[in-house]
Amino acid sequence: MKEIHELCDLLPGTFMADSWRSILELYDEARLASDRFQESFNVHCPEGCGTCCEHFVPELTEAEASLIAAYILLIKEDERLLERLLKHDGEAPCPLYDANSPYHCTVYPARGLICRLFGACPSEDKNGLAVFRKCKYNEAQDTPNLISAQDFAHAAAPVSTMREFGVRLSSMTGPHDPQPLAAAVLAAISQLRFIANYLASGSHDDDNGGAGPEIPTPTPIAS
Ligand code: SF4
Ligand code: SF4
């Protein structure tokens, strides 16, 4: 199976590949910041816990949804995920949750920003200062219930908050508001199919001298 970063090489020169590259860079930064925070403040989720995915359906920006769509179409090639999205009634659990999957998330490498940071990154209080409250489902005894703005003020290094990453995420997406996961990913799948069909048809040859990029046909969900 391809690695998530390899997606960017499948549609070279397109805004989609640029968007995937940018969002993966943001996710890498978010992971490093979250790892640093968790290590410094002894914060961790109990192993195997995926309760948030059972009680929550995230909203996604276009850029986040596009990466998940590409992961489903071009890496997982799993039609069952498309069926789950089509059948989803909007209620929790998240349609991409799978209790039997090792990470509980069927699109784990492509999951959205909130799914990466929830329970593992400080938020902000009403004064814009970092504060962390332990997730109510977190039963890890050694994880502090609260890390206050005062605690953070005495920390060795400043921490990044969910809001900071959220602002950066919203700067790299289209004009539309975030949408519930199923609607956002289904729209992104349609857009990706359209572009894949367009490139495969060769109708873009006049634009680039006939050197159209070769892309894999998204066979499992191809129209
Ligand atoms: S996308 Fe994945 S991590 Fe996010 S809520 Fe759904 S199953 Fe959980
Ligand atoms: S954020 Fe809470 S519910 Fe989600 S994995 Fe961590 S402890 Fe479990």
Q: Which ligand minimizes its atom distance to the CA of 47?
A: 2
pLDDT of residue 212: 40
* Sequence spans of domains, the chain: 4-221
Q: Residue 85: CB within 6 Å of ligand 2?
A: no
Q: Residue 95: CB within 6 Å of ligand 1?
A: no
The answer for 209, left when phi > 0, alpha when psi is -120 to 50, beta otherwise, is left
Atom 1 of ligand 2: nearest residue by CA position: 119
75-109: pLDDT as tens digits: 999 989 999 999 999 999 999 999 988 789 999 99
97: Cβ–Cβ under 8 A, 6 or more apart, which residues? 50, 53, 54, 104, 105, 106
Q: Residue 111: CB within 6 Å of ligand 1?
A: yes
Average pLDDT value for residue range 45-58: 94
Partners of 97 in the β-ladder: 105
How distant is the alpha carbon of residue 21 from its chain centre?
Answer: 13
Residue 202 alpha carbon to ligand 1 centre in Å: 36
pLDDT surpasses 80 at 223: no
Question: Per the confidence metrics, is the pTM higher than 0.85?
Answer: yes
Q: Residue 137: CB within 6 Å of ligand 2?
A: yes
Pairing of the two strands 179-180 and 59-60:
antiparallel
Q: 125-139, 160-174, 189-203: which range is least confident on average?
A: 189-203
Q: What is the mean pLDDT of the chain?
A: 89
Q: Which atom, in ligand 2's list, is nearest to the CA of 119?
A: 1
pLDDT of residue 204: 58
Q: Residue 118: CB within 6 Å of ligand 2?
A: yes
Q: How confident is the model at residue 222 (pLDDT cuts 50, 70, 90)?
A: very low
* Euclidean distance between CA atoms 30 and 145, whole angstroms: 22
Partners of 179 in the β-ladder: 60
Average pLDDT value for residue range 139-145: 94
Q: Residue 53: CB within 6 Å of ligand 2?
A: no
Q: Residue 26: CB within 6 Å of ligand 1?
A: no
Q: How confident is the model at residue 206 (pLDDT cuts 50, 70, 90)?
A: very low
Q: 6-10, 39-43, 105-109: which range is least confident on average?
A: 6-10
